[in-house]
Amino acid sequence: MVIVDPESIKSKEVIHWNGIHLFHAWFSSCSQKVRLFLRLKNISWTSHVINLREQENQSDWYLGINPKGLVPCLIHDGVVHIESNDIMAYLEQVFTDPPLLPPNDDSRNLIQGLQAENSLHMELRTLTFAFLAPKKFKSMEVFQKYKDVNSACPCSSQKRKEIDFYSRYLSEGISKDQIYSAYIAWNKQFEELNKALEDRITVVAERQVYMAGSAISLVDIAWFVNCDRLIKCGYPLSDHPALFAWYSRLVQLESFQKETILPLPLKKKAQRLRIKQTLLRQTMKDVVRQKQKPGKKSREKSKEKSKVVPQVILVSQSKNPNHDI
């Protein structure tokens, strides 16, 4: 469990709060996971919405609660918990009914599933920023504050990747190479998930299967949120039939469905952006297709290079017969 040291909490009033309080952002995937978990558990909680676009997570008051400035952040009877997967694991221990952990024989699937999901966080952010939030909403001033705060803490490799990501994003945006690399990473993971679901269907001889057992668990919550986000980014999840069937079943459930609905202003903005990307051939499918299949001009240039290089080598050989090529 990741608990914030009480001595480092400067916004002292939260230490005296009773019950469950959640600081979250509507379109934060990690916040979505915890909200979905709370719904499935029927846990009563108090909502504190953090506007990331207005950099409320970098305010002195919020940093006084969570020095990392990240969401979600859960406070239970004055104790501050951070990191979404750790928050869910903690709540599972406290609120055991209904259980969202798989049976003991499936615990390995749970651990592996959560580790794999967490390892692709930066790739998810890359595709989100490229296709749903293309504007640079973090100023250099806010980024520097964020960097200073996190550099003062023991910095994990994941956090360093995050800092590097924002640094490049603010100066260069998201490149097609980054998009393609993130797509390949997710495509590979989805292929593995699809195969695992197919194998499970074969073993239990039924189609109502889940990621880590015969019932919905933390792993299903984590992967569902990611699948839904990537669908909104333009990822063709239907390319993975078993995974798409699993997603389609869950999205029919009210608790899951509520986390897939975009606020109307964001929905309209996303629709306008998708139309623009389609017209400019800048959708995810377009970028992937361009990277996988070089255009005619690129092929012609490659042919020209293959013709020119031998000529240069021959000239070098004639001028300097001792040249080591």
SS3 74: strand
21-41 CB burial, b ≥16 within 10 A, e <16: bbbbbebbbbbbbbbbbbbbb
pLDDT for res 323: 31
* Residue 248: Cβ within 10 Å count: 11
pLDDT for the residue 212? 79
Q: Can you tell me the distance from the alpha carbon of 197 to that of 223, in angstroms, rounded to the nearest whole number?
A: 13
Pairing of β 20-24 and β 73-76: antiparallel
46-49 and 20-24 beta bridge pairing: parallel
pLDDT of residue 239: 96
pLDDT score of 27:
87
Alpha helices in 205-295 (DSSP H): 218-233, 241-250, 254-258, 264-279, 284-292
Q: How far apart are CA 84 and CA 105, in angstroms?
A: 24
Q: Which residues of the chain have pLDDT under 70?
A: 1, 103-111, 134-139, 149-158, 202-208, 294-325
Residue 314: its pLDDT value, please? 29
Residues carrying CATH 3.40.30.10, the chain: 2-94
* 106-129+174-264 carries CATH number 1.10.150.130: no
pLDDT score for 263:
79
- For the chain, give every residue range classified as CATH 1.20.1050.10: 106-129+174-264
State both tokens at 233.
């980014």
CATH class of domain segment(s) 2-94: alpha beta
**Three-state secondary structure string covering 42-54:** CCCCEEEECCCCC
What is the pTM (predicted TM-score) of this model? 0.82
With CA atoms as reference, report the closest residue to 168 among 129, 132, 120.
129
User: What confidence score (pLDDT) does residue 140 get?
Assistant: 74
